[in-house]
Amino acid sequence: MSHPLLMKLKQAMPLSSDEEAAIRLALGHWKVIPSRQHIACEGDRPKKTTVLLDGLMYRYVTMADGRRQILSFIVPGDFCDLSAVVEGWMDHAISTLGACTVAVIEHDSLDRLINSSHAIRTALWRDTLREAAIHRVWVSNLGRRSAYERLAHLFCEIAVRLDAVGMKRTCGYDFMATQTDIGDAVGLSAVHVNRMLQQLRCQNLITYNGNTFAIPDWERLAEIAGFSAEYLRIEPCDDVPVSIPPSAQLV
Amino acid sequence: MSHPLLMKLKQAMPLSSDEEAAIRLALGHWKVIPSRQHIACEGDRPKKTTVLLDGLMYRYVTMADGRRQILSFIVPGDFCDLSAVVEGWMDHAISTLGACTVAVIEHDSLDRLINSSHAIRTALWRDTLREAAIHRVWVSNLGRRSAYERLAHLFCEIAVRLDAVGMKRTCGYDFMATQTDIGDAVGLSAVHVNRMLQQLRCQNLITYNGNTFAIPDWERLAEIAGFSAEYLRIEPCDDVPVSIPPSAQLV
DNA sequence: CGGAGATTTGAAGCCGCTCAATACAGGTGG
DNA sequence: CCACCTGTATTGAGCGGCTTCAAATCTCCG
C-alpha cells in the first residue's frame, strides 16, 4: 500500500528520504478495527496515537440529551488523535464507520520524531491547521447553506479527500454511513437527508447505496455545493487534478 | 497593560522568563485600527502577523451570492493570522468589530522565535489546536442546537474567553456586534436573533445593548446553552474561576 | 423464516425565514 | 438646536424548510 499519511504530509511539506524513512519506521505496527467501534471517548488521555490507513472514521460529540453531532470525517492518512499528542486529552469521541486499518504509535516515539525534524514538525502543524480549515468550512456549511447544498458539499469534500490519498475505488468511494450518520454530520434529521438524497439522485448528481457513492457530474455538484477545494490544501499531483476531481471520470 | 497573549500562552505552556522576554520584544511594535475595518481578505499572503491586544475582531467568509458566515471571534491575546505564518496564505477574511489595538510581527521574526524555543513552538501549536477545538464546538452549536441555545452558547463563550485575558469591564463585556453580525455567527437571520435576544432578556439571562453585554445569571445561561468551558483550554487562574465565571458577579 | 436496523413515504406542525413597515439612535449640516 | 439621514432594532404577517411522529417497505443476516 502506498502510504496515505506520507502522501498527505509530502503535499504539506517536502520531506527528505531520511524523514520519510523515520515516519515509515514509526508507523510499522498496524492493526484492524471492526466496523462501528469506538476508538476514543471524550476525556480520554491516550498514550498512543492512531493513524488511519484504510477505512473511514468520524469524530463526534454527544450532548446531554442524546443529540449527536459529527464533527468531521477521518480519511486514510489522517491522525485520529494528534491533538492528544500535544494537549494530552481528547475533547471529542471517535468511531469507525466501516472496518479500518490503523497504525499505532507511542506518544514518546512520535514526540521524538517531532523534535528531531523541522520538516516533520511543520508538516504536522500544517496538518492541524488543515483540520481547522475543514472545521471552518463545516461551520459555513451548517450556518449558511440549505439542506440540499449541505449534502452536496459533504459528498464533494469526502470525494476530494479520498482522491487525494488514492482511495477511489473503481465503483466510486466507500462510505458506509447511514442516513442518520449523514444527518448528524450536516445538522439535519435522517428523514430530511433521505428526501434530499432522493433529489440529488434524480438530478443524477450522486449515486449512493449506503456503502458506496459516486459523483456522475462533478461540475454540477460542486457548483450546487459552492465547493472549492483549496481549503483541503491539496496540491495538484500526478493523476489527481484538483479543480476537476477524477470523480468526473466515474460516470 | 498586562499582556493578553502572554496570559494565554502561559496557560497553554509554561514559559521561561527568557522566552517571555523574547515574545514581549517581538511584540513591541503596536498600532490602532478603527472600527469595521478589513484587516485581511481571503487569499491574502501577508508578510506580517497580527496579534490582537484590545478590542474584538471576527473571521468570516462570504459566499458567491453574498451570504456571510462568521467563523469565530478573535479576542485579545489571539493571533489573527497565525495560520498564514505556517501556511503562507489566508483562507478566510478578518474584520474588526470595534476599534482595536494590535501588535504586528514580521513573519521572519516570529519564525526565529518559533525555531528558537520548544516551549514557544508548543504553545503556538496548542493555540492552533485550541482554535480547532473552538471551531468544533461551533459545528455542534450550529448543527444541533436551537436558535435560543445557540445564542446563549455564543455569549457564554465570549464571556469566558474575555475573562481569561482579563477583559471584563465593570459594566460587562464589550461586544460591538450588530444583530446581523450575531446572526451571521450563529446561522440565523437578524430578525430571529432579535426575537431570541428579547427572550433571553426577559428571562433575565443576558443584558445587551449592542455595545456591551452582561450575564446576570451565569449558571442558568450555561445550563441552557449546554456550555462547558473545557474546550477553551482555560486553566483556573488567580481570580478567574472556570466553572462559574465571574460574570455571575456582575448582577 | 424471523428479527433488527435502514430506508422510504405521508401527514401535520413548528421553527425560523422573508418581506415590509415602523421606531429608534447617533452623527451631520444647516 | 433642530431637521435630516443612515443604519440598527423592533414588530407583524405569511410562508416554507425541516422536524417529528408513525407506519410501511426493504435488506441483510442469523
pLDDT tens column, B183-211:
999 999 999 999 999 999 999 999 999 99
3-state DSSP helix/strand/coil percent for chain B, to nearest 5? 45, 20, 35
At residue A29, the pLDDT reads 84
What is the predicted pLDDT for the residue at A171?
A: 85
Q: What's the pLDDT score for residue B13? A: 94
Nucleotide nearest the Cα atom of B150 (by C1'): C16
* Averaged pLDDT score across all residues of chain A: 92
pLDDT above 50: residue B240:
no
Best mutation target among A135, A145, A151, A180 (most B Cβ atoms within 10 Å) is A135
Asked which of B160-169, B175-184, B195-204 is least confident by mean pLDDT, the reply is: B160-169
Taken in order A231, A235, A237, A241, is the CA torsion positive or negative? positive
Question: Quick check: A12 and A233 in contact, CB under 8 A?
Answer: yes
Contacts (Cβ under 8 Å, ≥6 apart) of A81: A40, A46, A49, A50, A90, A94
Residues of A (209-238) placing their beta carbon closer than 7 angstroms to any atom of strand C are: 210
Beta bridge partners of B33: B100
What local confidence, expressed as pLDDT, does residue A169 receive?
86
User: In chain A, what residues touch B135 (CB-CB under 8 Å)?
Assistant: 132, 135-136, 138-139
pLDDT at B1: 52
- Quick one: pLDDT at residue B40? 96
Classify the C-alpha dihedral A163-A26-A231-A154 as positive or negative: positive
Which chain A residues have a beta carbon less than 8 Å from that of B121?
A: 121
The three cell numbers of residue A110 are: 512520535
pLDDT at position B199: 97
Q: What are phi and psi of A229, to 5 degrees?
A: -85, 0
In chain B, pLDDT over 90 holds for what percent of residues?
A: 87
Q: In which band, very low, low, confident or very high, does the pLDDT at B236 lie, cut at 50, 70 and 90?
A: low
User: Which grid cell sits at B76?
Assistant: 485579545
Contact A33, A87 (CB under 8 A): no
CA neighbor of B160 nearest in space, from B56, B54, B241, B79: B241
Whether any strand D atom is under 7 angstroms from the Cβ of B146: the reply reads no
Q: Is B103 helix (H, G, I), strand (E, B) or coil?
A: strand
- Please give the nucleotide, over all strands, whose C1' is closest to the CA of residue B209: D9
What mean pLDDT comes out for the span B147-167? 96
Q: List the pLDDT tens digit at each of the 251 positions of chain A.
A: 578 999 999 999 999 999 999 999 999 788 999 999 999 999 999 999 999 999 999 999 999 999 999 999 999 999 999 999 999 999 999 999 999 999 999 999 999 999 999 999 999 999 999 999 999 999 999 999 999 999 999 999 999 999 999 998 888 999 999 999 999 999 999 999 999 999 999 999 999 999 999 999 999 999 999 999 999 998 654 444 444 444 434 33
CATH superfamily of A4-248: Jelly Rolls (2.60.120.10)
Residue among A144, A181, A188 with most chain B CBs within 10 A, to mutate: A144
Which residue in the block uniquely carries the three cell numbers 452582561? Answer: B214
DSSP readout, A29-77? -EEEE-TT-EEE-TT---SEEEEEEES-EEEEEE-TTS-EEEEEEE-TT
| A178 Cα to chain B: minimum distance (Å) | 17
Q: Residues B67-77: what's their mean pLDDT?
A: 98
Round to whole Å and give the CA distance between A186 and B70.
18
Q: Please, which residues have CB within 8 angstroms of residue A27's CB and are 6 or more apart in sequence?
A: A3, A5, A51, A103, A105
**pLDDT (average), residues B215-220:** 96
